[in-house]
Structure 1
Amino acid sequence: MNLRIGKLELASPVILAPMAGVTNVAFRMLCRELEQQRTGTVAGLYVCEMVTARALVERNEKTLHMTTFAPEENPRSLQLYTVNPKYTFEAVKMIVEEDLADHVDMNFGCPVPKVTRRGGGSALPYKRKLFGQIVDAAVTAAAGSGVPVTVKMRVGIDDAHHTHLEAGKIAVDMGASAVTLHARTAEQRYSGDARWDEIARLKDHLGDTVPVLGNGDIFAADDAHRMMTQTGCDGVQVGRGCLGRPWLFAELSAQLRGKEIPAPPTLGEVTRIIVRHAELLADFDGERYASRDIRKHIGWYMRGYPVGGKVRASLSQVNSLQDLRDILAPWADSDALPDDADGARGRQGSPAKVMLPEGWLTDPDDAAVPHGADVMNSGG
């Protein structure tokens, strides 16, 4: 089951959704390695964590580091956070001319208050003229390069302000090569169930003009198939479901391509995957960073496995790769399987009123660039 995005041909319609602080080069490499080991091929697309268009144009050191891709990564997929047509054009032009990536996605789905209160993320598609200008700027900058531009968004701000159907049509009209829908409103954040019926509505609305990708509540091997069957979407993006489960892409890819689904890893295998994750982090950012960063992944990796609270606490305080290896060593040969590995992972929280700039909902045709939204997110 292939997926075509512009000129990109993917052997699997499964995509790693960009997640801040997670989908760095180390995590992407780990997901790719596990897909290769467990299925014999790397078939999907793995997107880097979001970077800010203005920060990229200004060559912010942190932002440039976040755009690092390993030599083995092909195709290279980069997601931009953007609120300004000018910086959007300049950023995509830079990506094309300096060969920084093979695919550009734009984030209009972030529901975080510090983003929406300045008019960015999932607040921006409500401003349909500005939204169209931004997509047009990106597509224009990429024209003739073979680098497809895609858009990711939510159902809308809240149930009184759905924007996905109109925004999807605008994105297609401006030349976007695919549209991804996280099937929640910004007000929902990550709570409750994703509304897969809204993915179906968007697919019906856009027809076969471009691929429509679904995002939300992909937690197990069969979920991607169910979403595609129920909604008619052309592919899926996987976010929180892969936290602590970088092998999930192998399972999803195999299932959708009619291959045998790999068995879930034993506890012993998971210990080796954790160490490999930390080693990859160290390769790109040094051991000190790796020792700190791997801590936040421990709870996700160990979910359902019988290791006990003391071990989990020790793992959450590791200070070196050797510490990590030593703590995990007693379980290296364990064939234990998790009691409950499926289900929601990561942040969920509760619905909350979306923070917006004053007067934001007054005029959807106001094309003024939100003040300070791109500056606030500089560096990532």
Structure 2
Amino acid sequence: MGIKGIKIGTVEIKGKAILAPMAGVGDRAFRETCARFGAACTVSEMVSSKALEFDDKKTLELMELGEEARPAAIQIFGSEPDVMALAARKALEFSPDFIDINMGCPAPKITGPGAGSALMKTPQLCGEIVAAVVAAVPVPVTVKIRAGWDEKSVNAVEVASICEQAGAAAVAVHARTRSQMYEPPADWSIIKAVKEAVKIPVIGNGDVTGAQSAARMLEQTGCDAVMVGRAALGNPWIFQQINAYLDERRIVPPPSLSERMQIMVQHVELMCRYKGEYRAMKEARKHVGWYLKGLRGASEFRRCAGFLESLADLDALVKDVIAAQEETPLSEK
């Protein structure tokens, strides 16, 4: 049957499940791992427009894109139209398929200076930023927003409409306000309202935890694609499961224990390739913890994961994990 994709400006997205940008975890290795399992599109960790002004080395590293995870966007954040335009131009050096503007991050260190979801409080400025970035680059420009700043100012429809008028090629809507952060159930009716208000593609975000919830969001809101964030952590095969369900209503079971451990090791090996083993293993500890979720003895193994320093350490942990799942209960010995 085939899943009908979407078009963002001139960019073809062949699928409906997109990997959300996630600061601190959505690095190149994770994006490529998710793309391997069918993520239709990936977005970089958010990049500070101010840091790009000064060619910060760590910031430049965040924008490295591999061919294995395309189409791919670089996401930038900031609150000054001219600085955001400059950042978008610099991002072009890494050949993104499109530029994404962050208007949804709820972290105080981002909203404090007026960026991220704080921009929802100034809809006109949102439009000015989009217009400046659109004028600065030849690739499509997208925007990620929230429902609003708080429950008294749910203005996603207004902001999305202003961004569309300013030239945005698509909008992703996280259906929670900034004050709600990530906790209460997402209000998908906000996604539906945005979809009904604009003509550009709308990507729904919030509470997509598996194949069936992805299908429900598409059906209930009419959105063009779904964005998967935290549900993909330690679970990159979620994209394969969503694609199979949307395509054929087929339920794909999770991988076996040995497959799961193999995927985890391959993911960490990619991290080591891009960042060097010393640094990568420190960053991999949280990913390993997510892969171990739900297994017998998971809490103790996660504690052990917190001390990983090498791929050899990871191999030893994997052997212990597999042995623990295969143990015969004491009553049967």
TM-score normalised according to structure 1 size: 0.81
Of 156, 162, 167, the residue aligned with 1:170 is 162
Matches within 5 A, 1:274-289: 274-289=264-279
Checking the alignment, whether the CA contact within 8 Å between 2:106 and 2:117 is kept in structure 1 is yes
The CA deviation string for residues 106-142 of structure 1, in whole angstroms up to 9 with x for no partner, is: 1000111222222211111221221111010011112
Corresponding position: 1:52 with 2:55: no
Of 82, 88, 91, the residue aligned with 1:92 is 88
Residue identity opposite 2:218 in structure 1: M
Q: 1:333: how far off?
A: 8.3
Aligned to 1:141: 136
C-alpha distance in structure 2 between counterparts of 1:186 and 1:325, whole Å: 40
Of 291, 309, 329, the residue aligned with 1:301 is 291
C-alpha distance in structure 1 between counterparts of 2:130 and 2:224, whole Å: 21
CA spacing shift, 1:308–1:149, aligned 2, 3 Å: closer
Checking the alignment, whether the CA contact within 8 Å between 2:175 and 2:205 is kept in structure 1 is yes
Root-mean-square deviation over aligned CA pairs: 1.8
C-alpha distance in structure 2 between counterparts of 1:17 and 1:304, whole Å: 23
Q: 1:331: how far off?
A: 4.5
Checking the alignment, whether the CA contact within 8 Å between 2:28 and 2:66 is kept in structure 1 is yes
Any gaps of 5 or more consecutive residues in structure 1? 36-41, 337-380
Residue identity opposite 1:320 in structure 2: S
C-alpha distance in structure 2 between counterparts of 1:187 and 1:325, whole Å: 42
Residue identity opposite 2:225 in structure 1: G
Corresponding position: 1:158 with 2:150: yes
Moved more, 291-300 or 151-160: 291-300
Matches within 5 A, 1:1-380: 1-33=4-36, 35=37, 42=38, 44-96=40-92, 98-142=93-137, 145=138, 147-206=139-198, 209-258=199-248, 260-332=250-322
Q: 1:14: how far off?
A: 1.1
TM-score normalised according to structure 2 size: 0.92
Checking the alignment, whether the CA contact within 8 Å between 1:132 and 1:171 is kept in structure 2 is yes
C-alpha distance in structure 1 between counterparts of 2:299 and 2:134, whole Å: 51
Checking the alignment, whether the CA contact within 8 Å between 1:266 and 1:335 is kept in structure 2 is no
C-alpha distance in structure 2 between counterparts of 1:266 and 1:179, whole Å: 36
Q: 1:272: how far off?
A: 1.1
Aligned residue-pair number: 323
Any gaps of 5 or more consecutive residues in structure 2? 327-333
SS in 2 for 1:183: strand
Higher helix share: 2
